[in-house]
Structure 1
Amino acid sequence: MKNEIITERDLGLEIIEGKEIEFYSKDNNNMTIRYGARGIVEGKDGKIAVIYKKNKNEYKLPGGGVDKGEDFKEAFKRECIEEIGCMIENVEYLFDIEEEHINDNFKQISKVYIAKVKEKLESNNLIEQEKEEGLEYLWLDKKEALEKMKACIENLKGSKYDNVYRTKFVVGRDIRILERYMKF
């Protein structure tokens, strides 16, 4: 399956002077690169997990950054435990997706997976940022999830952790992931 690259122009964002962000690695153009793992988690009823950050009006898919010493699949499994309180199984790689944030001189490269819920845990394990942004998880049918993501993209709010510019990339990326998934 073909990989995707998302840029500001794809999301209708204006290209402006960037700001410094946390260091992950650098490419030949001195662009900061962050690696991530994310994707679709299907419940036994066919609904998918969606993250809703109510204080940002943001709908997104589960996933996040790869920690040092962790592989992509392990990162996706960990993020599912943390964000949606689920152990997952049947984890299959789908494709890579890249975001190029020209304003921030930042690129995120993510491996996208599909998985099934193995076991729902009693609770999730949110980090402080996720708590402050009002993170909760929902189980929605695919079409409803896509509608909510598309509807929220023009009404996003920033937080002390992420501005609207970066959050639009997150939601835009996850819309693309979900649209491709729905074609399978």
Structure 2
Amino acid sequence: MELLKEIYERDLHLSERDSSSRRHGNRFWFSRAVRGIIFNEKYELALIHMHSDQYYKLPGGGIEAGEEMEAALHREALEEMGATVELTDEVGLIIEYRDEQEMMQFSYCYIATLSGDLKATSLTDEEQAGGLSLGWVSLKEAIGIMERNIPRTYVGKFIQERDLYFLKQLNR
């Protein structure tokens, strides 16, 4: 999968230091996740709002040990949206260097479509506490929402920057 972007704290105006010169592999823990730009039959995409931290994101989450990326997206879509999806294409990879958490986050993004009706979700306690809600908007609306929104948290700023960049890849 093509590397699209690397996001550092300085890109989000969270730090003045130049963390790009650090040797991240020796200090940071490594996390892999998958994201989906998931369209319905009206060509609207799924956009998740995390109310407590005031950020928007694409459906997706962590890849479990031994799990394939595509299987992780199928599982996450079912958990967060109650949706079965069909993957249609790759978007790319974004690496985040989260100094505060000493973490390197590798996020792989796919395009997918709904295949079947939505069912009940199975949200984690964290997602429920965060007020996760799902909406369906056009690509242009999703980009506008994310460009105007200011996340409240450190993590939310990274998530929204990453997912906005993924969306803009489709709007080129």
Could you tell me the TM-score, scaled by structure 1's length? 0.83
- Once the two structures are overlaid, the 10-residue window that deviates more, 119-128 or 33-42, is 119-128
Q: Give the Cα–Cα distance (whole angstroms) in 2 for the partners of residues 141 and 148 of structure 1.
A: 10
Query: CA distance change for structure 1 residues 15 and 124 in 2, over 3 Å: closer, same or farther?
Result: farther
Amino acid at match of 1:46: Y
Q: Give the Cα–Cα distance (whole angstroms) in 2 for the partners of residues 31 and 90 of structure 1.
A: 31
Q: Give the Cα–Cα distance (whole angstroms) in 1 for the partners of residues 117 and 62 of structure 2.
A: 22
Amino acid at match of 1:176: Y
Counterpart secondary structure, 1:29: helix
| Pairing of 1:83-94 with structure 2 (within 5 A) | 83-94=80-91
Q: CA RMSD in A?
A: 1.6
- Say yes or no: does 1:72 pair with 2:69: yes
User: Which of 78, 82, 100 is residue 81 of structure 1 equivalent to?
Assistant: 78
Match of 1:120 in 2: 117
Q: Give the Cα–Cα distance (whole angstroms) in 1 for the partners of residues 59 and 87 of structure 2.
A: 16
Q: Which has the higher helix share?
A: 2
Per-residue displacement from partner, 1:91-132 (whole Å, max 9, x unpaired)?
Answer: 422211110112322110011100011123322111111001
Match of 2:9 in 1: 8
Structure 1 contact 15–103 (Cα < 8 Å) conserved: no
Counterpart secondary structure, 2:159: helix
Query: CA distance change for structure 1 residues 29 and 40 in 2, over 3 Å: closer, same or farther?
Result: same
Q: Give the Cα–Cα distance (whole angstroms) in 1 for the partners of residues 129 and 11 of structure 2.
A: 29
User: Which of 153, 158, 171 is residue 169 of structure 1 equivalent to?
Assistant: 158
Counterpart secondary structure, 1:52: strand
Report the identity percentage: 32
Could you tell me the TM-score, scaled by structure 2's length? 0.89
Structure 2 contact 91–166 (Cα < 8 Å) conserved: no
Q: Give the Cα–Cα distance (whole angstroms) in 2 for the partners of residues 107 and 28 of structure 1.
A: 8
User: Which of 54, 57, 60 is residue 54 of structure 2 equivalent to?
Assistant: 57
